[in-house]
Amino acid sequence: MNSLVRASKQALQNAARSYASRGAGGERDVVPRKVAILGAAGGIGQPLSLLMKMSPHVTNLALYDIAGTPGVAADVSHMNTIAKVKGFAGEDQLHEALEGSDVVIIPAGVPRKPGMTRDDLFKINASIVQGLIKACGEACPKALLNIISNPVNSTVPIAAETLKAMGVYDPKRLFGVTTLDLVRARTFYADAIGVDVNSVDVPVVGGHAGTTILPLFSQARHQGQAQKELSAEEIDALTKRTQDGGTEVVQAKAGKGSATLSMAYAGALFADSCLRGLNGTAQTSEYSMVQSEVTSCPFFASKVRLGPSGAEEILGLGELNELEQKGLDVAIAELTASVEKGVKFAKDGSL
């Protein structure tokens, strides 16, 4: 069972328990953990706020945006789960929102419209992410930072350089959220071979844009009897669909933004794993874009073991087939260029 399903069941159980014992005093053995969401009034931010309010690991939830957060906070604060919720609006309140945070999730910034690439968002989102990361470096330098804002392939290196310049960079605490690529690969693969999606595991490595997203179907695992063996053409189609998953949603939304609900789900899964790692839960791992020596590219998404100090171990890629190896070469070239673009922006502001 994945952690969010478990978390949702736990939240519902907690809710039922507290409902049944209103006034009984409700003692609970929970590690106090504060999570801040920056961009909490947005398309991702709102459902993500809902899901983090349901997490059994969150005791304090700070919802920050340039506007609109008092309403979102008032709304989710009525849910009878353990997290205390507070809304913060406008830059004056940013530091207060961040202080004491264990995990900061950042889905702030503009989304794509049809015809745009994620890199087309760089001009606007680079500065937004840099500003927010500076505030994190000042107010909560030890927090685990979960970057959702696109282009992730550049915003993560921007964050790293910004924190470095402030003297507070810890590579173990900075994560680009690529979980949605894994969520999609699992869904598409389980559908294609006809097995229970909860039994499926598909590694997805590289970055988070087009051909930098590299699903490794040769390493896919599942339980139960598959209804179907996939041909090379079918694997190729699944690879392309995973790489273009974001565009599929952008086109379907026809100008009204990109993935928000599935992203909120993926973001909550990832943040929940970060919290479980912080709490010392054994065997907590996720795929994420981190500073890495797994390939020649200085930032790369692969499997990461999460623990009390963040990314405690970065695992290798395992064995790739010939096609995947070719895909890896393509991914590294494009990802390296996006990383360099981010580093350059952070150093000299060039767009």
Binding region for ligand NAI (CB under 6 A): 38-39, 41-45, 65-66, 107-112, 121, 125, 128, 131-132, 148-150, 152, 177, 180, 208, 257-260, 263
At residue 194's C-alpha, the angle toward residues 193 and 196, to 5°, is 115
> What is the smallest separation between the CB atom of 150 and ligand OAA, expressed in angstroms?
5
Among 250, 264, 289, 297, binds ligand OAA (CB under 6 A): 250
Cβ within 8 Å of residue 5, ≥6 positions away: 198
Q: Which one, of 23, 86, 94, 43, lies nearest residue 65 by Cα?
A: 94
Binding residues for NAD(+): 39-45, 65, 125, 148-150, 263
DSSP state of 317: -
Among 149, 258, 288, 291, binds ligand OAA (CB under 6 A): 258
Q: Is the peptide bond before 308 cis (omega within 30 degrees of 0)?
A: no
Hunting for tokens 């395992």 — which residue is that?
A: 318
Question: Half-sphere exposure (CA, 13 Å, Cβ side) for 127?
Answer: 6
Q: Does 208 participate in catalysis according to the annotation?
A: yes
Q: Which residues are annotated as a binding site for substrate?
A: 112, 118, 150, 184
Give 3-state DSSP helix, strand, coil % of the chain, rounded to 5.
50, 15, 35
- Shortest gap between Cβ of 319 and ligand OAA (angstroms)? 27
Choose the one of ligand NAI, ligand OAA, none that binds residue 108, judging by a C-beta under 5 to 8 angstroms depending on kind: ligand NAI
What residues numbered 123-162 form the site for ligand OAA, per CB under 6 A?
Answer: 150
CA atoms 87, 90, 95, 98: torsion sign: positive
Least spacing, CB of residue 156 vs ligand NAI, in Å: 10
Sequence ranges of the binding site: 39-45, 65, 112, 118, 125, 148-150, 184, 263
Binding site for ligand OAA (CB under 6 A): 111-112, 118, 150, 180, 245-247, 249-250, 258-259
